[in-house]
Amino acid sequence: MDLIETLNAIVGAQHVLTSGDLSAYEQDWRKRWHGKALAVVRPATTQQVAEVVKACAAAKVSIVPQGGNTGMVVGSVPDASGQQVVLSLQRMNAVRQIDAGNMTVTVEAGCILQNLQDAAEKAGFLFPLSLAAEGSCTIGGNLGTNAGGTQVLRYGNARDLCLGLEVVNAQGDIWSGLSGLRKDNTGYDLRNLMIGSEGTLGIITAATMKLYPLPVASLTAWASLPSLAHAVQLLGLAQKHLASGLTGFEVMGQFALSLVAKHFPQQRVPLWDSAPFCVVLENSDFESEAHARERFDHLMEQALDAGVITDAVVAENLTQAKALWHIRECIPLAQAEEGLNIKHDISIPVSRIPEFVETTDALLKRAIPGVRLVNFGHLGDGNLHYNVQCPAGADGKAFLQAQEPGVNKLVFDSVLAHGGSISAEHGIGSLKRDELPHYKSAVALDMMRAVKSALDPLGILNPGRVL
Ligand code: FAD
Ligand code: 2HG
Ligand code: ZN
C-alpha cells in the first residue's frame, strides 16, 4: 500500500485531502508563504494521530502539525516540495472534562480558543488566555507556540496555564501526561519541553489547563500619553493601585491607531490624534463594580494630576469596553490592509523599552527615509510589536525583498543591545530560523539540537522550523 492509501485506511478517504483548493492549509495567515502538501490529513482521535505518525515515519515522510493556521512565523504550512503531510488537528475539538473541584479543564488540541473560553464561562470559570485570533486559533497551536496575548500580565502565557499534556511522539507512541497536578517533581519536565516546540518534538493531542474564578467586574480605560516613558510610568502606577486587579495593559502608537482609523472607519478610535501614544488597560475586581470603579477613577485622577496621562475615557459598560479592546485587536488586521510589513515580536525589560524605541526609530529613519513604524503591544509584559511598514506609496513586496534582512539585523541587534529577545510570543518557525543562531548562544542551540535528535531522530516532525 502506498502512503495515501494507508492514510485513507486510518482516517477515512474523506479526511485525506489531496486535491481541490487547499490554500487554507498551504498558505500562512499573512500570505507570505504558499506551500504544497502531499496531503492534508484530518484525524479524529489520538489513536488515529499515532497511526498516521507511524505510517509517515515508515514512509520517511515529514509531518507539519497544524491547528488554526494563524501563526505569525510560517510554522504551520508545508514547504514547496509537495512531499510533506499537513496533520490538521481541527476535528479533535472536544472539551473532554471540566474538573470544578480541581479548577481544570481537559481539552483536545483542535478546540478553538474561543470555544474553550465559552465552555469555561458556562461552567462558571475564567479561562484567561486571550488573543485577537481566538476565534480561529486552537489550544494545540497556542501550546505549540506558547502563545501570550493580552492577559499574560496577570495569568501568564499558555505554558503557565498548562498542567498536563497528551502527546504523540515522533515514533507514533502516545504519552498520556494529562495530569491535573500542580506539583509533580518526577524527573525531566516533558510538558514544558513540548510547549513552545512548534510541532518539532511531538504532536499535542490534548491538554489539561488551569481555570480561574470569574471576576465580579471588569472595567476598561483608554488613556492618551505624551510619550512611551509616560506609559511605563502609568504601568507602575496601575500596578501599585490595582495590584493583581490589573489584568491587561496594552500600548498603541499613533501610527498604529491611524491605520485602524483609516481601514476600519466604523470604529471610533478615541484620543488617537491628540497624542503619540495611547494605552488600554483593564481592572478586574472580585468585590463589586462600585469598588472597581472607585479604584480605577482614583488611579486615573492620580495619573492626570501627575501629568502621566493627558486624557482618559473609562468604559461605562461592557459594550463600550469590548469596543475599546476591539480597536486594539484590529491593529494587526489594519496593518495587513495597509500592506506587507516586517514584523518584530520582541521582548525587552519594561524599563528599557522607551530607550529601545527612541534609538531604533532613529536608526531606521536614517537608514530608510519615510519608513513608517507601527508600535503596539503588551507593554505590561515587556513585549512590543515593533513592525516596519514601507514608506507611503511604496510597493510592500519590493520593500520586503530589498529591506527585510537589513531591517531585521538593525532591529535585532538593537534588541540584543537592550537585553531583549527576538521572539516574545510568536515563536521562531521558519521566518526567524536563520536569525536565531545570531542571537542565541551556541551552547543553548547545541542542547536544543541534542533534544531534537534524541526525540525525533528521523527528523520527520516539522523539519526546518526553529532549528
Ligand atoms: P498554527 O498556526 O496552526 O500553528 C502554530 C505552530 O504550532 C506551528 O509550528 C504548528 O506546527 C504548531 N502546532 C499547531 N498545532 C499543534 C499541535 N497540536 N501539536 C504540536 N504543535 C502544533 N500570538 C500570540 O502569542 N499573542 C497574540 O496576541 C497574538 N495575536 C494574534 C492576532 C492575530 C490577528 C493573528 C492572526 C495571530 C495572532 N497571534 C498571537 C499568533 C497566533 O494566533 C498564535 O501563535 C496561536 O497560538 C497559533 O495557534 P494556531 O492554532 O493557529 O496554530
Ligand atoms: C497582537 O498582539 C499579535 O495583536 C499580532 O501578537 C502582532 O501583528 C502583530 O505584529
Ligand atoms: Zn501580541
pLDDT single digits (tens) 270-290: 999 999 999 999 999 999 999
Pocket flag, ligand 1, residue 89 (CB < 6 Å): yes
Pocket flag, ligand 1, residue 75 (CB < 6 Å): yes
Give the residue, by CA position, lying nearest to ligand 1 atom 14.
141
Pocket flag, ligand 2, residue 333 (CB < 6 Å): no
Question: Which cell is 383 given?
Answer: 513585549
**Separation of alpha carbons 357 and 368, rounded Å:** 16
Top mutation candidate among 28, 31, 70, 72 for ligand 2, by most atoms within 8 Å of CB? 72
The answer to whether residues 107 and 207 touch, using CB atoms and an 8 Å cutoff, is: yes
**Separation of alpha carbons 395 and 411, rounded Å:** 21
Q: What are phi and psi of 367, to 5 degrees?
A: -70, -35
Top mutation candidate among 66, 85, 191 for ligand 1, by most atoms within 8 Å of CB? 66
Cα-to-centroid distance, 332 and ligand 3 (Å): 9
Pocket flag, ligand 2, residue 344 (CB < 6 Å): no
Q: Which atom of ligand 2 is nearest to the CA of 426?
A: 6
Q: What is the pTM of this model?
A: 0.98
**Separation of alpha carbons 334 and 340, rounded Å:** 11
Cα-to-centroid distance, 107 and ligand 1 (Å): 16
Cα-to-centroid distance, 332 and ligand 2 (Å): 6
Pocket flag, ligand 1, residue 148 (CB < 6 Å): yes
Best CA proximity match to 89, nearest among 143, 157, 128, 148: 143
| Angle between helix 318-329 and helix 331-338 axes, rounded to 10 deg | 40
Question: What is the chain's pLDDT, residue by residue, as a tens digit (467 residues)?
Answer: 799 999 999 999 999 999 999 999 999 999 989 999 999 999 999 999 999 999 999 999 999 999 999 999 999 999 999 999 999 999 999 999 999 999 999 999 999 999 999 999 999 999 999 999 999 999 999 999 999 999 999 999 999 999 999 999 999 999 999 999 999 999 999 999 999 999 999 999 999 999 999 999 999 999 999 999 999 999 999 999 999 999 999 999 999 999 999 999 999 999 999 999 999 999 999 999 999 999 999 999 999 999 999 999 999 999 999 999 999 999 999 999 999 999 999 999 999 999 999 999 999 999 999 999 999 999 999 999 999 999 999 999 999 999 999 999 999 999 999 999 999 999 999 999 999 999 999 999 999 999 999 999 999 999 999 99
| Angle between helix 254-263 and helix 331-338 axes, rounded to 10 deg | 70
